[in-house]
Amino acid sequence: MSSGDERRPLIVKRKRVQSAKHHGGSWKIAYADFMTALMALFLVLWILSTASPSQLEHIAEYFRTPLAVALTGGDKTTASTSAIPGGGDNPTKVDGEERRVNIREQTRSSDEQRNLRYLRDRLQSVIQSDPQLKELSSQLRMDFSPEGLRVQIVDSDKRPMFELGSDRLEPYMQKILGRIAPVLNEMPNPISISGHTDDIPYVGGEKGYSNWELSADRANASRRELIAAGLAPDKLLRVAGMGSRITLPNTLPSDDVNRRISIVVLDNRAAQAIEQQEKTPLPSSLATPLAGNGGEASGNGGGMTEPNSAG
């Protein structure tokens, strides 16, 4: 072998193994976002499962309130400028907008809604803080009616609020009325009390003492107990007996829960409607004094006298 061949370099060829190209980390970001959203969903579901009914209603009210209304403190029912919520035969026409304006006039202000919700929460806290009242919570029902905040004290077969066929209050009923009377004084709103019975008739029927009288007597007995417990008498605007005419939803007229007392903390609109209804003057034909046999008007001073009511 010559010296020139010994100086020749050796060339080694190695096959390069190329790995697969990297796809980047974008999928990791998407996966992380998905897991975060899923964890947030489970967290919200867990919070909702442990929340009380009043807290759930507050949460629902928050999401029902538009952002613009929440920032300005306005009434959520009057915030929409669309004609669609107005109703009417054709929501896109003027009739729908007029209907929306009428509903706006009939809704409560945000301050009044807040005050009624506060009163409901106060009543619930009073009930939950008293062990005896807490046992009666199944017979206490609170909701918002078109007239205001309604507190209903219902009867049960095992624990009646009144003696059978009587307006005499049981100790349970006295306890409830005695505790809620001071709370009702915290609001300036007037109060309406109505009594309700089941449809089981008396032996004498409608001609004698009936469920009409019983419901009115029980409403008045509740009124007396509330006043004795400290309720301001001038807060009472109406006391009525409804007999068995109005039953609770999804119940039979003979069910125990239809024997109940309904106490409504009236909003301003409902109170004004009741007062205006009673102040409506009689037609001129009915206001004419009655004439006697001798052509003279009978009664004191020639005017028409009215019998005294029973309170």
Mean pLDDT of 58-77: 60
Of 22-31, 64-73, 200-209, 291-300, where does mean pLDDT reach its minimum?
A: 291-300
DSSP E strands, the chain: 140-145, 148-154, 191-196, 236-241, 260-266
DSSP state of 194: E
pLDDT at 134: 85
CA distance 264 to 255: 22
| Strand partners for 240 | 194
CA distance 211 to 251: 18
Q: Which pLDDT tens digit goes with each residue over 227-265?
A: 999 999 999 999 999 999 999 988 898 898 899 999 999
CA distance 54 to 43: 20
Alpha-carbon distances of 91 from 80, 212, 270, rounded to whole Å: 13, 44, 28
236-241 vs 260-266, strand pairing mode: unpaired
pLDDT at 42: 92
